[in-house]
Chain A
Amino acid sequence: MDSDEEDYVFFGKPIEREEEITNRRKKAAAEASGNLRSLPPWKQEVRDEEGRRRFHGAFTGGFSAGYFNTVGTKEGWAPQSFTSSRKNRAEVKQQSIFNFLDEDEKTELESQNLGTSSQFDTFGFTAAEYARKQANKEQKQRPSAIPGPVPDELILPASESIGVKLLLKMGWRRGRAIKDLHASSLYDARREARKAFLAFASEDTKASHPTDFEPVEGEPENFLAQPADDDAQSSQSLPVFVINPKQDLHGLGYDPFKHAPEFREKKRSRLSNDKQHGYRKAISIKDSLFGSKSGKAASGFGIGALEEFDAEDEDIYAAGYDFEETVIEEDEEPSRLSVESKKKAVRKDQGVLRGFKVATVSDYQLERFDPPIIPKDFVPHHKFPGPLETLKKLDVPSPPEVPPPDDNNLKLLIEGVATLVARCGKLFEDLSRKKNQSNPLFSFLSGGNGHDYYDRKLWEEHQKRGDQAKLSLDGKLSPSVQKMTAENRGKLLGEKPLERSSRETTSSSVASGDFVQLQFNLSDTFKKPESFNELPEVAKPFKDDPAKQERFEQFLKEKYEGGLRSMGSSAASNMSEAARAHERLDFEAAAEAIEKGKRGKESLISEQPFDFLATGMQFTSGVQEQVKDTHAENLMTKKMYPRREEFQWRPLPVLCKRFDLIDPFMGKPPPAPRMRSKIDSLLFMPDYVKGAKLEEDLVTNRDVPVAQTDAQKTIEDVAGKEIEVAAENVERPVDLYKAIFSDDSDEDVEDINTKKVEDQEKKIEVATTTLNRLIAGDFLESLGKELGLEVPPDMPYSTNNVSTPTQKETPNGENAILSPLEGRTFCAPKSVSGTSLNPGQETAQDGELAKNESIPGRSVRYSSKYPDGLSENISGKVNMEKIAQEDKKGKSSSRHQRNWSSSSSSEDERSRKQSRRHRYRSSDSYSDSASDHHDRYRSRSKGRRKKSSREKSSSSRKHSKHHKHRNRDSPSRSHQVSEREHSEARKEKRIRRD
């Protein structure tokens, strides 16, 4: 730039000169102070703090209020600029009256709310509440031996209301009436008289008293209460509420006698009869029904002296003679005091309505139930299950362990379905069962082949999910959470592993005298019974030597069951000390490998990154020890890293615009600030636990050779097994959906078979990544999508099913030719119909193929992954463009894709197929990128959109295909082959026709 000035870097804010700013203000201040005193009020000018004159007088402009004499807002009266509500519909504001109110109006409005100040809170509710809260708080703070609230602390006196305080000051005592003493003294006198009279009166007189029935209940209680606090009772200012214990079986607050108080009296009398054992009274019901009103005393009967009518004292004589004749049957039976007889009598005599008889056999019987017996192992502590409803099924007893079906496809399918069902619930199972009724592959759902295994798997999945649920707090957590074992944790924390194994190696080589110590060590090792449960599935590393295998199993048993090792097993008869030691080493290593493999198979991240290392290790078994050492310290870090986390991030609209993208957050409110606490990392911890699993898997592969330096073959066995294990246990819902919901007779039968193993791994990888991205909600959503959008009708299935066996039966010429090729067959159709391919690429693939075959194991994946994935991407793109053009021509293409049997064989279809094959190969390595491409294309051009989405679906369908037809040995394999041949035959036909 021209000016040198711009090259300087400025730090901080430049200091402005003070005079400039404060000049005017100073002036204003000076004027204000000077003028105000000297000038009369009407000559004074109102100026703001800046010294400007804001008030001009009514005729000279009024207030210069707000912004430049407008209203008090910046916009003034100007209408707001029009904003289209098309894009920001969500932001349409709800108007309320508060939007139009000034501040003072608002405060006025708000101040309308009335509240009781605690000072004038007569009933002391607030204070009581407060006190209770306080008590609660204290309760929490103080450690208490007794759990739960202590009643003394909770029942607190409410603070006195002001009225009570005043009264107290004036000499009032609690419990006394607020009335003149004279009255109460009169009352007292009368009361004394009553008492005296009572002393005379015998019990039967009292009982025979005609009006006795009225206060039956109140009476004894009152009498009982009197001596306790006489003065309080005497004045009766406050009614003493006698809390009657609830003795009936009605609901709270329910009054059965609400509209029939007569019955209440009846009841009461009966009860009182029960109480007073000596005699019974029978009151005719007529009395109570039609007689005097219950609350009222019969006035004529000299109540005054005997009765204690608290409130009614005054109007004893005012009640008038509405007393009707009452017949009181009274029979005394003092001799019969036994409860039974009394009961019977009561039942007989009482409670009989006129016109009714007492039933001889009453079906009312008080039933008594014993309290439930608490089991001995009951722990009075409630464990909350996880949020998933599937967890409820956890307590279902485990179905017996069943060996997986021989058919590997079926096994995978079963496991996949089990995983899904465990995740989505029973509903999914029903759905898929219904959907696949006709499909023999899914017969295990309805009790067919492999049902036991399915049950077992389902249960395991539930179990697993239960464990997960404990760990994961939100649905976003990756599904492969699993329990941390102590070893695991120790490794993560960087602890040294127990010295057990190393010790054993030395001890076995040193002397048998060390056995004591060894046993001690062993007893210290962890018990791991649960892992032993599942061992039989995997643990056959010494297949070739049954005796050794047996010893190994014995070893495992002891190892995992803990406790002391029996001498017999380790001193396996005729083996030399050295041989035994060697074997022990083998066993240790193999056991570790197996266990790790088992743990590893649960991990979702495919273990590919380390495969090349592992495989590399496998075949150079001489140097493991050393390599192990070098890797030992790296293991720690590797286990943790790389660790992936995902956050919400909001790009600003401008950025999106500049990147020519649509703002993903368009019209949404700003996101909440991101969580940045330690909890964050804790929550996401399982992610790297997964990583750890991965790592261990790697170690496994490395360790296996240690165990069997002599038998390279078995190593491969184990390795192969582990690959399988790793593959089979991976959850891959997307494919499964496809497998279940999409029709089986897709056209992609001509899929490449050679790369089977790698392909499936990659697909698993892809599936797992997709899975990882799906949080719970999205998952369901995608399920819906799958159901709604991408599920083609399943009608072609049956037809194909019928047709394939025939194909299989009749081996035509092509079949014969193709079958020896087997793996390579995918090349053949290409060369037949390959028009858009350049030959060089093909040869490259062939070369790569040869490479694949030459190198066993998974290291292949890498050799194939990068270079040709890249080059093919390009060709794939070229093809896609071609197709895009062709698509415009053929409109019926979508139908073609679905239905193989459609006879129309247009040019574009074939080439599309081919390109699909292409794309498939190019997308194996980076199928994510492929989908990216799709997206991009979709957004770019409309014409391509159709095609790309279709291709996406087709490619994913292909994935599912591969999972199903994976194993060469499986019966369905032949089905697949025949299908492929079928398609090829058709292709041939087409070419001939062409």
Chain B
Amino acid sequence: MSVKELPRKEANVLNGHEGAVLAARFNSDGNYCLSCGKDRTIRLWNPHRGIHIKTYKAHGREVRDVHVTPDNSKLCSCGGDRQIFFWDVSTGRVIRKFRGHDGEVNAVKFNEYASVVVSAGYDRSLRAWDCRSHSTEPIQIIDSFLDTVMSVCLTKTEIIGGSVDGTVRTFDIRIGREISDDLGQPVNCISMSNDGNCILASCLDSTLRLLDRSTGELLQEYKGHTCKSYKMDCCLTNNDAHVIGGSEDGSIFFWDLVDASVVSKFRAHSSVVTSVSYHPKDNCMITSSVDGTVRVWKQ
């Protein structure tokens, strides 16, 4: 994919959040997106048309992360109120609340079948919550992290968490192993490559690191942006050719995956870019920022 095809043109600006937007996520087919922020709301958008569809309000504190099931029927969100909310998308009601984290919850993800929600918390734990039963107790607590867990990723068989203790830990359910990759720097955010073989970890030393999941070796480091104190997302393009990351000065960086050169860089927001999310199929990207906007980028 050439540089020209990168989504660098602003297609839409989604205004509505009052205060910082902390996360913006495409849904599984990329037709909609969700954003959440400090105004304690979750908003559902059609980013392609720039329309605000729905607002979900129930959180008592800021909402830090949101995720939607592959069938678009349920949402889960988490935030500063130490609870995970399990929403019905269409009605906008909270189906269940999972309490148990002893601190803020930083990230949340559904598993493949939307039967489990895994959350990562300030209390140094990953917790798995059962969406099928009515129990509100976690069905698994993973507390081997030494510091705040910032981000979580799920595969069909694994739970991967990135933590401020500098580790990316992979919990393989199938073989019952925990694989800990110590990066030596606080890990802010992890995201999987689309082929599932690599993990991109955003570290607080202003470096993105690409890890080979099978061997744990460091494949590449991406530098140039600033990321020192914010939780900022990073992701790969849907063809895994480029790495995208935000910067604290409001820029978006595109790196070439292989040679780690900054392919493109432009100023997208007036303030810290908190989140980037790439469309699963098209060359489209949404970014959210502390400036309160979510921007949609297309080529």
Q: What chain B residues lie within 8 Å of A605 (beta carbons)?
A: 215, 217
> Which residues between 131 and 178 of chain A lie within 8 Å of chain B, taking CB atoms?
none
Q: Which of B3-11, B63-71, B192-200, B272-280 contacts A (4 or more CB under 8 A)?
A: B192-200
A862 CA to B214 CA, complexed, in Å: 16
How far, in whole Å, are A605 and B82 apart by their CA atoms in the complex? 41
Chain A 652-666, CB-CB to B under 8 Å as 1, else 0, gives 101110111110110
Q: Which residues of B contact A638 (CB under 8 A)?
A: 218
Complex interface bits, B229-244 against A, C-beta within 8 A gives 1, otherwise 0: 0000000000111000
Within 8 A of A (CB), among B193-220: 194-197, 209, 211-212, 214-220
User: Are A870's CB and B209's CB within 8 A?
Assistant: no
**For residues 823 through 871 of chain A, which have their beta carbon under 8 Å from a beta carbon of chain B?**
859, 862-863, 865-867, 869-870
Residues in A whose Cβ lies below 8 Å from that of B97: 6
Scan B171-182; emit 1 where CB is below 8 A from any A CB, else 0.
111111111111
Structural contact, B182 and A641, CB atoms closer than 8 A: yes
Distance (whole angstroms) from the CB of B296 to the closest CB of chain A: 25
Q: Mark A629-672, 1 if CB is under 8 A from B, else 0.
A: 00000000110111111111111101110111110110000000
Whether B174 and A655, one on each chain, are in contact in the complex, defined by CB atoms closer than 8 angstroms, is no
Which residues on B sit within 8 Å (CB–CB) of A616? Answer: 259
Q: Give the residues from 229 to 270 in chain B that come closer than 8 angstroms, CB to CB, to chain A.
A: 239-241, 257-260
- CB pair B173–A9 under 8 Å, yes or no, is no
Task: Note all chain B residues with C-beta closer than 8 A to A870.
Answer: 194-195, 239-240
A866 near B156 with CB under 8 A, answer: no
Cross-chain contact of B181 among A606, A643, A859 (Cβ < 8 A): A643
Q: Is B93 an interface residue (CB 8 A)?
A: yes
State whether B157 touches A654 (Cβ < 8 A).
no
A27 touches B (CB below 8 Å): no
Q: In the complex the two chains form, what is the Cα distance from A873 to B139 in whole Å?
A: 34
Please indicate the chain B residues that have their CB under 8 angstroms from the CB of A936 in the complex: 156
Residues of chain A lying within 8 A (CB to CB) of residue B172: 649
- In the complex, are the beta carbons of B241 and A654 less than 8 A apart? no
CA distance in complex: A664, B173 (Å): 7
- What residues of A have a CB within 8 angstroms of the CB of B240 in the complex? 866-867, 870
Q: A357 an interface residue at 8 Å Cβ cutoff?
A: no
A18 CB–B CB distance under 8 Å: no
Query: Are B219 and A609 in contact, CB atoms less than 8 angstroms apart?
Result: yes
B94 beta carbon closer than 8 Å to chain A:
yes
Given the interface pairs A1-B94, A650-B176, A652-B140, the reply to whether A9 lies near B181 with Cβ below 8 Å is no
Q: Report chain B residues within 8 Å CB of A869.
A: 195
Q: How far is the CA of A665 from the CA of B172 in the complex (A)?
A: 12
Contact assessment for A646 and B180 in the assembled complex, using a CB-CB cutoff below 8 Å: yes
B142 CB-CB contact with A under 8 Å:
yes
A928 partner residues in chain B, CB cutoff 8 A? 197, 214-215
Asked if B13 CB lies within 8 Å of chain A CBs, one says no
Looking at the complex, which of B20-28, B30-38, B109-117, B283-291 is the stretch in contact with chain A? Answer: B109-117
Nearest neighbor of A765 in chain B, beta-carbon distance: B215
Q: Does B147 contact A (CB under 8 A)?
A: no
What CA separation (Å) do A646 and B214 show in the bound complex?
A: 12
Write out the residue numbers on chain B whose beta carbons fall within 8 Å of the beta carbon of A753.
Answer: none
Query: Who on chain A is nearest to B198 by CB?
Result: A866
Taking CB atoms, residues of chain A closer than 8 Å to B219 are 608-609
Give Cα A512 to B265, complex, Å. Answer: 54
Least Cβ–Cβ distance between B135 and chain A, in angstroms? 9
- Interface pair A7/B60, CB less than 8 Å apart: yes
Return B242 CB to nearest CB of chain A, in Å: 10
Q: Is the CB of B241 within 8 A of A867?
A: yes
Structural contact, A659 and B171, CB atoms closer than 8 A: no
Interface flag for A674 (CB, 8 Å): yes
**A737 on the interface (CB 8 Å rule)?**
no
B286 CB to closest chain A CB, in angstroms? Answer: 23
Are A769 and B214 in touch, CB under 8 angstroms? Answer: yes
CA A638 – CA B219 in complex, angstroms?
Answer: 12
Query: Does B189 make an interface contact (CB < 8 A)?
Result: no
Contacts of A863 in B (CB 8 A): 258
Least CB distance, B282 to chain A, in whole angstroms: 17
Q: Is the CB of A609 within 8 A of B217?
A: yes
Question: Provided the pairs A658-B113, A658-B139, A929-B214 are in contact, do residues A648 and B241 lie with their beta carbons within 8 angstroms?
Answer: no
- Please name all residues of chain B whose beta carbon is closer than 8 Å to the beta carbon of A608 when the two chains form the complex: 217, 219
Q: Mark A606-638, 1 if CB is under 8 A from B, else 0.
A: 101100100010000000000000000000011
Number of residues on chain B facing chain A (CB within 8 A): 60
Q: Is A8 on the interface with B (CB-CB < 8 A)?
A: yes
Cross-chain contact A655 with B177 (CB below 8 angstroms): no
Q: Is A926 an interface residue (CB 8 A)?
A: yes
How many Å from the CB of B19 to the closest CB on chain A?
18
- Smallest beta-carbon distance A687→chain B, Å: 9
CB distance from B178 to the nearest CB of A (A): 4
Question: A1 and B214: CB pair below 8 A?
Answer: no
CA distance A658 to B112 in the complex (A): 10
Q: How far is the CA of A936 from the CA of B179 in the complex (A)?
A: 20
A16 to chain B, nearest CB (A): 20
Instruction: Report A745-782 CB contacts with B as 1/0, cut-off 8 Å.
Output: 00000000000000000000100110010000000000
Determine whether the beta carbon of B211 is less than 8 Å from that of A651.
no
Cβ-defined partner of A655 (8 Å) among B140, B212, B257: B140
Query: Which residue in chain A gives the minimum CB-CB distance to B133?
Result: A654
How many angstroms from the CA of A644 to the CA of B113 in the assembled complex?
Answer: 30
- CB <8 Å contact, A612 and B259: yes
Contact flag A655-B116 (CB < 8 Å), given A1-B94, A9-B81: yes
* Interchain CB contact (< 8 A) of B130 among A1, A640, A650, A654: A654
- Please indicate the chain B residues that have their CB under 8 angstroms from the CB of A644 in the complex: 179-182, 215-216
CB distance from A275 to the nearest CB of B (A): 78
Do A654 and B173 touch across chains, with their CB atoms under 8 A apart?
no
B140 close to A926 (CB less than 8 A): no
A766 to B263, CA, bound (A): 31
Q: Mark A389-402, 1 if CB is under 8 A from B, else 0.
A: 00000000000000
**Distance from B21 Cβ to chain A, minimum over Cβ atoms (Å):** 21
Interface positions of A from 583 to 616, Cβ below 8 Å from B:
605-606, 608-609, 612, 616
Tell me whether B196 and A929 are in contact (CB under 8 A).
Answer: yes
Are A649 and B139 CB-contacts (below 8 A) given A612-B259, A659-B156? no
Are A862 and B259 interface neighbours, CB within 8 A?
yes
Cα–Cα, bound, A665→B178 (Å): 14
The smallest C-beta distance from B203 to any residue of chain A, in angstroms, reads: 10
Partner of A651, one of B132, B140, B156, B218: B140
A906 to chain B, nearest CB (A): 33
Whether the Cβ atoms of A649 and B181 lie closer than 8 Å is no
Query: Are A656 and B184 in contact (CB-based, < 8 A)?
Result: no
The answer to whether the Cβ of B107 comes within 8 Å of any Cβ in the partner chain is no
Q: Mark A316-357, 1 if CB is under 8 A from B, else 0.
A: 000000000000000000000000000000000000000000
Among A649, A662, A765, A862, chain B packs the most CB atoms within 10 A around the CB of: A649
Cα separation A937 to B30 with both chains bound (whole Å): 28
Q: Is the CB of B184 within 8 A of A637?
A: yes
Task: Give chain A residues whose Cβ lies under 8 Å from the Cβ of B115.
Answer: 658-659
Q: Which residue of A lies closest to B176 (CB)?
A: A664
A862 to B184, CA, bound (A): 24
> Contacts A641-B182, A652-B140 hold; do A659 and B176 have CB atoms under 8 A apart?
no
Q: Determine whether the beta carbon of A929 is less than 8 Å from that of B195.
A: yes
Bound form: Cα–Cα A73–B48 in Å: 65
In the complex the two chains form, is A652's CB within 8 Å of B239's CB? no
Q: Does B190 sit within 8 A of A, measured CB to CB? A: no
B217 touches A647 (CB 8 A): no
Subset of 17 A-B contacts with CB under 8 Å: A642-B181, A644-B215, A644-B216, A645-B179, A645-B180, A649-B142, A658-B116, A658-B130, A658-B132, A659-B156, A660-B113, A662-B174, A765-B215, A859-B259, A866-B240, A870-B240, A928-B197
Chain A interface residues toward B at CB < 8 A: 1, 6-9, 605-606, 608-609, 612, 616, 637-638, 640-652, 654-656, 658-662, 664-665, 674, 765, 768-769, 772, 859, 862-863, 865-867, 869-870, 873, 925-926, 928-929, 936
For the complex with contacts A612-B260, A616-B259, 9 further pairs of A-B residues with Cβ separation under 8 Å are A637-B185, A641-B184, A642-B182, A645-B182, A655-B116, A655-B140, A659-B115, A674-B144, A873-B195
